[in-house]
Amino acid sequence: MRELEAAAITEAVARLCIEANYNLGEDVLAGLRQARETEESPVGQGVLDMLLRNAEIAAQGEYPLCQDTGLAVVFVELGQEVHVVGGDLNAAIEAGVRQGYAEGYLRKSAVARPFSARINTGDNTPAIIHVTIVPGDRVRLLVAPKGGGSENMSYLRVLPPAKGRQGVIDFVVESVDQSGGNPCPPVVVGVGVGGTVEQTMLLAKRALMRPLGQPHPDPEVAELERDILERVNRLGIGPLGLGGTSTALAVHAETFPCHIASLPVAVNLQCHSARHKETVL
Amino acid sequence: MGQEPITITTPLTEELVASLRAGDRVRITGTIYVARDAAHKRFIAALDRGEALPFDIRGQIIYYMGPSPARPGRPIGSAGPTTSYRMDAYAPRLLALGLKGMLGKGERSAEVREAIQRHGAVYFAAVGGAAALIAQSIREAEVIAYDDLGAEAVRRLRVEGLPAIVANDSHGGDAYQSERARYRKG
């Protein structure tokens, strides 16, 4: 059994919160540059130029990419041969979020009592933590700050299986269409197909963590992604909804077997500030 | 695009507002006010109680924004727009009281678009997610009300050349609708 200090987890989470909010990944930057080359709308081109310039300013380390530095979504793959010592795993992650959001001058966007008082918790906790136990003696931590504007544009529907592939495509395209400029396009479209509904949404969220534009390894799913992307970029929404041909940078789908009676589909949109950083301890 | 952006200074006059057209690129200079969800809720509660708002909104622009914390020596942190539709429930009442401009991102409701036209106002779209870039145009920032709301407190900003686009003009023009239609295929 390998021992891992809880403090090391706290330290890593704090660092990842800061890195994710200041340094846009090379994959996303490449996607934005590609969109800039193909965008037909002059307004859209201007917007994309501003987003690329924004990323340069943020990378200097003084101003985060977006003022909405998100709720901290943390995916943990915990090796079953690891024994966390000196504290518990969840508390260590929460402490990391608290530290990262304070030291990084990141906005605290969490409110307690969601349907009533909505009081800011003051330190951006609680984090949204998803733990999977995996073989091995390592811990993989992935931190994805998720902004409210794009998270608000989330959709879940359980289709009758007869709707099939076309039903999935239509539902996703409809979802992006009705979101318009709200989720800060060009977006990454996270799609979950299958499972039970709570899992369907988690598949959509997990799909967003894949390096931008990397197709799904299953050719059938990769083809679905391509077909949805093609349809989405014909909607005309464009950068920030001000018109254009770059509505999505990519579509990422994940699937899971489901009940004989069901075809659940979830859509979780990610703004152009597609932030996630990971490390292995 | 093509043409140079129009420089506009606050407070907004009726003539200036009337001259703006959906799709115009602008640079905003002068004093603007910041308020988002929680502050708007309090504005309406104050008006319902017959109280005055924390500042005179006549002729002013309200920026829908909640900044990240300022580093020492800086007036503000990152400062991009938040999504405007969440303020749709409150905006018509403020427009009726003389608010002339709103700055945010995303489409407005039919009620707000109608109120913009009726009261001769304008809705500007800032570039969502260009928050570090927009912060460079903010020279001063001061919390003037509801300090307890933290990032959602009401602020007064002095801005210089803040970049935006006229999304809804006082003549019924709507850049979101018209531009989207232009690039929609099939």
The predicted-structure confidence for A202-227, as pLDDT tens digits, reads as follows 999 999 999 998 999 999 999 999 99
Residue A188: predicted pLDDT: 98
Instruction: Judge: B107–A245 Cβ closer than 8 Å, yes or no.
Output: no
DSSP state letters, B77-143: S--PPPBGGGGTTTHHHHHHTT--EEEEBSPPPHHHHHHHHHTT-EEEEP-TT-HHHHHTTEEEEEE
Share of chain A above pLDDT 90, in %: 99
- Smallest CA–CA distance, residue B168 to chain A, in Å, is 12
- Of B36, B40, B100, B155, the catalytic one is B40
Q: What is the mean pLDDT of chain B?
A: 96
DSSP state letters, A204-229: HHHHTTSPTTPPPSSHHHHHHHHHHH
Q: What share of chain B is helix, strand, coil (3-state, %, to 5)?
A: 30, 25, 40
ipTM attached to this prediction: 0.95
Residue spans of chain A under pLDDT 50 = none
Residue B27: predicted pLDDT: 98
Identify any residues that bridge with A132 across adjacent strands, giving them in sequence order.
Answer: A77
Chain B contact for A271 (CB, 8 A cutoff): yes
pLDDT, tens only, B128-156 = 999 999 999 999 999 999 999 999 999 99
Q: Tell me the chain A residues in contact with residue B68 when contact means C-beta distances shorter than 8 Å.
A: 63-64, 67, 69, 105-107
User: What pLDDT band is residue B186 in, cutting at 50, 70 and 90?
Assistant: confident
Q: Which CATH number fits domain B26-183: 1.10.760.10, 3.40.50.300, 1.10.3720.10, 3.20.130.10?
A: 3.20.130.10
Mutate to test the interface with B, among A67, A71, A187, A188 (most CBs of B within 10 A): A67
Q: Tell whether the model's pLDDT for residue B2 goes beyond 70.
A: no
pLDDT, tens only, A40-57 = 999 999 999 999 999 999
pLDDT, tens only, B95-114 = 999 999 999 999 999 999 99
Instruction: Assess contact for A192 and A201: CB atoms under 8 A.
Output: yes
- Cβ-nearest to B129 among A182, A184, A241: A184
User: What pLDDT band is residue B1 in, cutting at 50, 70 and 90?
Assistant: very low
Residue A127: predicted pLDDT: 98
Q: What's the rounded Cα separation, in Å, for the pair A256 and A133?
A: 18
pLDDT, tens only, B14-42 = 999 999 999 999 999 999 999 999 999 99
Q: Which CATH number fits domain A149-274: 1.10.1740, 1.20.120, 3.30.1330, 1.20.1500?
A: 3.30.1330
**Quick one: which of A238, A249, A68 has its CA closest to B106?**
A238
Three-state DSSP state, A82? strand
Share of chain B above pLDDT 70, in %: 98
Residue A219: predicted pLDDT: 98
Residues 149-178 of A with CB under 8 A from B: 149, 152
- Smallest CA–CA distance, residue A47 to chain B, in Å, is 7
Residue A213: predicted pLDDT: 85
In a 13 Å sphere around the CA of A244, the CA atoms on its Cβ side amount to 27
Say whether the peptide bond before residue A186 is cis (omega within 30 degrees of 0): yes
Nearest CA in chain B to A43: B1
Residue B114: predicted pLDDT: 98
- Smallest CA–CA distance, residue B12 to chain A, in Å, is 24
Instruction: Judge: B149–A120 Cβ closer than 8 Å, yes or no.
Output: yes
Domain boundaries of chain A, sorted by first residue: 2-20+65-146, 149-274
Identify any residues that bridge with B144 across adjacent strands, giving them in sequence order.
Answer: none
Q: What's the rounded Cα separation, in Å, for the pair A223 and A252?
A: 11
Q: Tell me the chain A residues in contact with residue B176 when contact means C-beta distances shorter than 8 Å.
A: 180-181, 241-243
Instruction: Judge: B176–A181 Cβ closer than 8 Å, yes or no.
Output: yes
